[in-house]
Amino acid sequence: MDERDARMALCCAVEPGNRAVTAAVAEYGPAAVFASLCKPSSRSRWERRAKAVDLTVVRRAADRNRLRFVIPGDDEWPEALDDLATGEPVQEMGGVPFGLWLKGDADLAQAAARAIAIVGSRAATPYGRSVASDLAAGLGSHGIAVVSGGAYGIDAAAHEGALATSVPTIAVMAGGLDSPYPPGNAALLQRVAGQGLLVSELPPGEHPTRSRFLARNRLIAALSRATVIVEAAWRSGARNTVSWASACGRVVLAVPGPVHSATSTTPHRLIRDAEAVLCTGVPDVLELVGPLGRQPPGRPDQHRLLDELNADELAVYEAFPARGEIDAGEVSLRAGLALGNCLAILDRISERGLIEYGAAGWKLTRPVTRTGD
């Protein structure tokens, strides 16, 4: 059995994220490990499943569903997944996947090289869905792929936002790609496959389970340069993805939300405990994951011309009514300055374009509404 077949067989026989088997594969190679699982003397829990593997059936199902199988060493294999070999285990899981089934025309390695994960609650609020969609679309406009899990709520909103751009989006599944889960997102996942990729380490015909969702989360985290958590309750699968991101040495960002919302509990706790960086938009993400030496996108300029005025100049400017004209003498009186000094200041402010001389006196160049700020 060659390496590709052995890895495919291991995906069929062993549950994802099994640290013992992945460690054995790293030491002895996939063919030797699979052969040992098939021996009655192995006393492995995977023995019966290993003996039942029929790769001919698996390949037919893959061909029928237009899936391809990639393994470490392939051009399309993302090197970032290798970090799972050395990262700390999460809930006793870990390890590099034996291989991955893909559906879609995008190149996984290329997409993952510039990818950000966006995760969060299935029971998302309208606020959370809006933030996730805007983040994904904004990242896509900068050529950054979005990785998520294809679930309801934040995942779906992130994929929708990414699909509004021309950049691939990646949905990592917890079951076989012949029947993407959840069924209610079938149309969305079909669009993801059309523009990006569906990814799974499970063969066709396998259904999602709780442990497979947890193992799937490690792929979402490892495939991405950073993970953004938008909304999540205290006990959440998205929180598990954050744990995987930290274990892989990835940047974690959290979006704040209403303090009374249960779905804001985890993001707020992560920010409070310094486990995540506050994220309020795309610039925050780009600033943390942008290439070294490259300036992050500029933020809105908060500078105003009034910030350049000294105390006397500001007093003169503030002496003007919001509308209408005023003579220099009245400005001098209101500002509490000598007329000669006031005239000099009026000239300086005029040169800055803040005031101008009209038909019968000085006036602001544009009407203003003054507040107490």
How are strands ordered across the β-sheet holding 100-103? 68-70, 100-103, 197-200, 169-172, 145-148, 115-119, 226-229, 251-254, 277-278
Q: Give the type of residue at 101.
A: W
The angle, 0 to 180 degrees and rounded to 10, between the axes of the packed helices 126-141 and 154-163 is 30
**pLDDT tens digits, residue range 237-253?**
888 999 999 999 999 99
* pLDDT class of 44 with cuts at 50, 70, 90: confident
Q: Is-contact 172 81, C-beta < 8 A? A: no
* pLDDT class of 368 with cuts at 50, 70, 90: low
**Number of other CB atoms surrounding residue 322 within 10 Å:** 10
Residue 312 φ/ψ, nearest 5 degrees: -65, -40
**pLDDT tens digits, residue range 309-363?**
888 998 999 888 888 899 999 999 998 999 999 999 999 899 888 889 888 889 9
Average pLDDT over residues 161-171: 95
Longest dimension (CA), the chain: 105
Residues 6+ apart with CB under 8 A from 220: 117, 119, 147, 148, 149, 172, 227, 241, 244
Centroid of chain to Cα 116: 4
How many Å apart are CA 64 and CA 49, to the nearest integer?
23
Q: Does domain 305-364 have CATH number 3.30.1550.10?
A: no
Residue 135 φ/ψ, nearest 5 degrees: -60, -45
Domain ranges in the chain?
A: 1-53, 55-289, 305-364
Q: In 3-state terms, what secondary structure has residue 227?
A: strand
**Environment class of residue 340 by beta-carbon count within 10 Å: exposed (0-12), middle (13-18) or buried (19+)?**
exposed
Name residue 357's beta-bridge partners: 362
Is the peptide bond prior to 182 cis by the omega test (within 30 degrees of 0)?
yes
pLDDT at 304: 66
CATH fold label, 55-289 = Rossmann fold (3.40.50)
Residues 6+ apart with CB under 8 A from 321: none
**pLDDT tens digits, residue range 62-80?**
999 999 999 999 999 999 9
The answer to pTM > 0.85 is no
Comparing 4-13, 34-43, 97-106, the range with the smallest average pLDDT is 34-43
Q: Is-contact 223 70, C-beta < 8 A? A: no
**Number of other CB atoms surrounding residue 7 within 10 Å:** 25
Domains 55-289 and 305-364 share a fold: no
**pLDDT tens digits, residue range 258-293?**
998 989 999 999 999 999 999 999 999 998 886 633
Highest-confidence range of 44-53, 160-169, 303-312, by mean pLDDT? 160-169
Tokens of 364: 């602001």
